[in-house]
Structure 1
């Protein structure tokens, strides 16, 4: 071996020759924005961008690991990225599963925001803009929606945040996204306590659902019927019933256990749904009391009365 080759062999590898690990260079937080077409992905992406996230729209799932790698090479200038992915990619399910496995192998934190919506609302939205569904092909809009829902079933089941946009306008959806992903908010799990009426259907975005129809219904008390669970008379009536106090005590304890587990697992947003028949009296009063107790314990809580005013 000549001297030149010996020197080259003995020389330490240059920094540029080192294998690149984006996590050692600059950890990147990645949010995956997906869900049903027409459910509000663009609004969610715009909101994240306003919060300072770098957003990439319509990214093929197979490019997710490459995107994270490139972000890691920016020396911390792109610490938070959001990628909008959807079923326009032909190999969506397989590619997304493989990409998420690759990212998990790298230790890359990924959160998934899934936007859902009822079929009838989606049909109306597509009809109002006079555009076909991306999977509609030669069939009806509803055919495309059902095909997409089947493709996204597993993704929805694994999502960190599921938002039902059926009854939300763009401003309300933006508020939900801000609550879930605003990094300036206090640490810990951010909870939404939602009252609802079973006769209007279960909330599709609830993490926990509890039923308070075992309590007497103020609807059958003439003086209370026109009031709601936010009125002191109804609240006192509901909370004074046998079993109401014990129910709230024990469910508050359960929520403490669950939210602590969510924090350990990195889940930052949870929706607790409390139901009664119409979503006007019992569920509203119980939800208000649960929210009050959670706030007193230091939790970041938003309260939503989904069906209040529908009767």
Structure 2
């Protein structure tokens, strides 16, 4: 069975982890941090999930990323494919995207591990 590792992270907490694919969600997708009522929530909270998933383009990016992962998996080298997806703080957009990507890839029969590097870190004041 092919294996995929997904790591969500926040650029403001350090360098992106090593990955075959790095997805930067900072500039093109709605940031819940800018809404005071969502700022201190995380990807575990439904209002944040609804905001991120309701952003135009997210569903298309999930599908495009799943297609890119499939391309890596069909390449001549064996091994785990790593996807890192990041937002500013790693508490909102990146973990939600990572969870939905993991669900999508598991639906294709892939073995997926998921790690949220910065989800439980404090809110970055910016």
TM-score tier after normalising by the smaller chain length: 0.7 to 0.9
Considering only CA atoms, is the larger Rg found in Structure 1 or Structure 2? Answer: 1
Question: Once superposed, what is the RMSD of the aligned Cα atoms?
Answer: 1.4
Aligned residue for 1:265? 77
Q: Which structure 1 residue ranges, 5 or more long, are not aligned?
A: 1-186
Name the one with the larger helix percent.
1
TM-score, with normalisation over the residues of structure 1?
0.37
Aligned residue for 2:90? 279
Aligned residue for 2:52? 238
Given that 1:230 and 1:288 are in contact with CA atoms closer than 8 Å, whether structure 2 keeps it comes out as no
Q: CA deviation at 1:232?
A: 2.3
Q: Which structure 2 residue ranges, 5 or more long, are not aligned?
A: none
Aligned residue for 1:160? none
The higher-RCO structure (CA 8 Å, 6+ apart) is 2
**Aligned equivalent of 2:15, options 189, 202, 213:** 202
Provide the aligned length of Structure 1 versus Structure 2.
Answer: 121
Q: C-alpha offsets along residues 19-50 of structure 1, whole Å, 9 cap, x if unaligned?
A: xxxxxxxxxxxxxxxxxxxxxxxxxxxxxxxx
Aligned residue for 2:36? 222
Given that 2:25 and 2:87 are in contact with CA atoms closer than 8 Å, whether structure 1 keeps it comes out as yes
Q: CA deviation at 1:223?
A: 2.2
TM-score, with normalisation over the residues of structure 2?
0.87
Q: CA deviation at 1:210?
A: 0.8
1:1-311 equivalences under 5 Å are 187-188=1-2, 190-213=3-26, 214-261=28-75, 264-266=76-78, 268-311=79-122
